[in-house]
Amino acid sequence: MNLIPRPTTGRGALLELVVIVALAIGLALLIQAFVVKPYQIPSPSMEPTLDVGQRVLVNRVVYHVGDPHIGDVVVFHPPAGAENGQECGVRQDAREACPEPTPEKSDTNFIKRIVAEPGDRLSVHNGHPVVNGLEAKEDFINPCRGGSGCNLPQTITIPPDHYFMMGDNRGASDDSRFWGPVPRDWIIGEAFFTYWPPDRVGTL
């Protein structure tokens, strides 16, 4: 096979450089839009797993080929009203987690951990999810030290195609306990790698 020689004139070389740069930028934008996208952690709700200002990469295609699972750290759109405080989609008993979200999604992006899946029965004890009667063993969280979301003994059932989210900083996380489970269609992707700062580089 004969290869076409590279341009030798200054104008040809410049044109080649412009084309290469344009293709590289286009490819980077396509990857970010459809495959992997970086996000910066805006709040302490996921401490100690993720600190404020830490940056993560999010796989945007993983849930097109498989289901989310308990333990996944995910970026998603919360229900409308969640970004302005605690707003449940239905009247909520003081002893239960919010069982249903508001019907519209917010444009804001949140990052939390999935703790319960569709059809699971859930309550909360000392900040830990109790799923189908079993309390989760979570040595990676910041303990819940008082507050309205630490103990919610009345059991709710997660609706079909919804996932219950909680931050790892259980005493300082505004999450599904207050504004309800999240529809699967609102999940953007799974956070799988942290790349900044350099001393926190690694998988999640």
The mean pLDDT value for 154-183 works out to 97
Q: Are 63 and 189 in contact (CB under 8 A)?
A: yes
Q: Are 73 and 138 in contact (CB under 8 A)?
A: no
> Is residue 11 in some structural domain?
no
Confidence of residue 9 (pLDDT cuts 50, 70, 90): low
- Cα–Cα distance between 115 and 129 in angstroms, integer? 7
Confidence of residue 16 (pLDDT cuts 50, 70, 90): low
Question: Is pLDDT above 80 for 97?
Answer: yes
Q: How far is CA 157 from CA 22, 24, 59, 204, in A?
A: 50, 47, 28, 28
> Is residue 143 in some structural domain?
yes
> Is residue 158 in some structural domain?
yes
- Report which of residues 9 and 162 the model is more confident about: 162
The phi, psi pair for 25, rounded to 5°, reads: -65, -45
| Catalytic residue list contains 45 | yes
Supply the pLDDT for residue 84.
Answer: 82
| Catalytic residue list contains 112 | yes
Token match 């709040």: residue? 43
Catalytic one of 106, 112, 123, 173? 112
- As given in the structure block, the two tokens for residue 60 are 């945007």
> Is residue 17 in some structural domain?
no
* Domain containing residue 158: CATH number: 2.10.109.10
> Is residue 85 in some structural domain?
yes
The mean pLDDT value for 166-177 works out to 96
Catalytic one of 37, 43, 45, 105? 45
- Nearest to residue 96, comparing CAs of 181, 177, 202, 6? 177
Handedness of CA 99, 148, 69, 109 (dihedral sign): positive
Domain residue limits at 108: 36-203
Judged on CB neighbours under 10 Å (0-12, 13-18, 19+), 191 is buried
115-132 confidence digits (pLDDT tens): 999 999 999 999 999 999
Question: Is pLDDT above 80 for 26?
Answer: no
What value does the CA radius of gyration of the chain take, rounded to a whole number of Å?
21
* Domains: count for the chain: 1
Question: Is pLDDT above 80 for 100?
Answer: yes
137-158 confidence digits (pLDDT tens): 999 999 998 888 999 999 999 9
